[in-house]
Structure 1
């Protein structure tokens, strides 16, 4: 499915960016930072042959918003505070640092909810593909099957992928939406799909095809907002995307919160459905230190293992230290 159409302009997804006081304190060029994230995201679409383009609608400071609480509570508070997304299609909050080893979080499948929960946040110091990863969740894409633990995306095929060679051996790489695993440590800035070739590798198949969901839902996602509101913050300059075949290592975490059609309240949506964990860590050249405090003596599972939280029975913990973002404590306690 080659979505490149020379006679048609790409479908535009307008993104409203908000940033915190803490982010402003550690970022001298906020517009430049946002432009870099957008360029990397659009490069991922271009390299995957997807006729889609993310565009900055506005960049605005969010007043009196503290970077405190769990990753999920930050998302919930952000969604409640900025319900309208200032009329854009997607709203993204920029945080100053990784939160509890999490690089980003977003509600999944915004088109499935009446309230169109197309919200997420990303942290500074994380890989350049993090924004594209979180936007992918809002379209309904999940992580790779190996860690999705029974979660099935609408349509059944929108999974990231651990990329193998033709003979079935590991390639050392995984697609944007997939989780880092042994022998699949590098992230390629491409989405999974049977016709997506990145660095000479086919990134997916008919069972693992995020490209298909991005192509199929791009028009609906572009109609979530009407872009009628004025931009009262910063404006980003237009930049040109240059094709490149970069890879990055990923060891940090991203979360996907499944949206529910039964409620329009972000708080209820999370508690009613649960979450799943995935990968995407700081760039190798970025120094990021994260400390997780625990008062229990429970031995955490080895990095990469999968554990069900004994309290909520919903979250599969896959990163050491294993931590349940629903119960707000280490898994298995």
Structure 2
């Protein structure tokens, strides 16, 4: 059946620029600690760079998660059952998706991603690989409310949220997102989520600051994207990439560091940065077993199975939608 249609749920201005991207950039650069949400890494160039990152030997999350999906495919299939519509959040190139689709015999596949070109390319590749599978790509920011295609409205659903992307969000934002998807996927739905474990600092920092500089290019592309899409003149060469472990918050932080005092404009607005000042561009929170279960329970999901025997440590957790209860 192949790719049926692309459902676009992104608001753009007359120039085709995502309205939320423009708003987040200006709001983030106006803060004392400048910050831009990590979801804006993923234009076409950024998405391609991230796929390069996943192939690096230092970037263990993809390797560990792929290992879990491969070795535990039969267990995952038994726990989820057949004929569910798989809804993947932040699908990217969907490199892990075939492992899941092969295992569980789904009734449909709905990849959700903010990068439209990348989304369509990966959906077409999967359509060729699974010619009998209905595929309904949705171009949308999965951190916001997303409307599911009508074609899967009456199907039981399995949310698939791989890559420990939930770690990019602080706890309150992660809970809001998972609650939204609890509502979007509906009663009797399941969620298979990848969550990275806390481990030694050297392994963590190397995964986000590789010797080849691919992660640095990925981080710096955020500034290039601002220049391309928002008419900026940011001197990108005057910034460097930094990745550090924050033990208090149990997370890797990525920053763009100003090498000198500078001024630049975006949309005609003037901004100034001092030498050593940073733009906080990403968090990657890591979770212990109890922390991860608490996060899910607070979000309306009840953990029912965990596979976490990967090396380096990583977890795949299957959770079921918690039934809504009426007030007494």
TM-score (norm 2): 0.28
Structure number with larger C-alpha Rg? 2
TM-score (norm 1): 0.27
Of Structure 1 and Structure 2, which has the larger fraction of its residues in helix?
Answer: 2
